[in-house]
Structure 1
């Protein structure tokens, strides 16, 4: 006769290690890095991936109204982004240090203009790729997205002295247009309007 079996302690169920949370920006970085070949990076403290400037392009950051006026001087494939009420016009890498001198030459240098140029060492928020879902309010978006497989640099405004290519738009014309519209906005918004009536 066999006696009762001794109780065997049950082994604890193996608990799998916690999963790493899914990175919501994996597809975004994949599009920039894999499809376009641009370096996108995540910079603390913000969660949105950012694009390194000064490598493939620099950026003119202008009021949206001034940016819209400059669109006629840009090549059809020239990328343009928007963030809030501002436009980000991509220009040839290396243009940022030249912009103050060009504005002086155009006689805009002495006036306060609502435009900024960002180049080497700066970053911009990476806009959501086209067809990748709905943009979050306040996030950067592409108004004219870069073409996958295309050579974006060939369509960016440049100075001929910086090695501009034959079909590239002229940075001087873009800057003159943007400066003119920035100045008009400043005058319109900063000057009191005449009273209407008797």
Structure 2
């Protein structure tokens, strides 16, 4: 939805020299421009807010020169208000020869929906430790470290030794041979752990 900014339109030198044609009242809920449209010869315009309005509305500058048949935009900033503030804008031309007052009301700006994101408190706390690595990934990581350290030949030799020991144990079917195979497996496993850590 596109909101439009209201403008306070003021026509200068319309009917006569130094003539000011402006609305009797103006309502806004935020910053707005005063549009000075000069229909005649160049003129100086003085803008001033009364005390009530001056505490919530501000002009960058009070005196403005508007060239022949030119338009000038004067920005008015407003403060956020909790309740409507009323006051008068004084428009003076011809060095005080003509004055016009506009009743201005500054309303509270409409409430904007709260679009803040609620974050679970558990997400704001740092993790207690690194996540557990799955066993399959641990084996792959261990083999990768073993290969990077040049232990490929040792790993192949260990695997062949274990395979040979198991083959002999199956062929002989002796408790002593099985014990020796178990010891060989533990030694090979220990060596592999030392190699990858």
Larger strand fraction of residues: 2
Name which one, 1 or 2, has greater alpha-carbon Rg.
Answer: 2
TM-score range, shorter chain: under 0.3
* TM-score, normalising length: structure 1: 0.21
Structure whose residues are more often helix by fraction = 2
Q: Which has the higher contact order (CA 8 A, sep 6+)?
A: 1
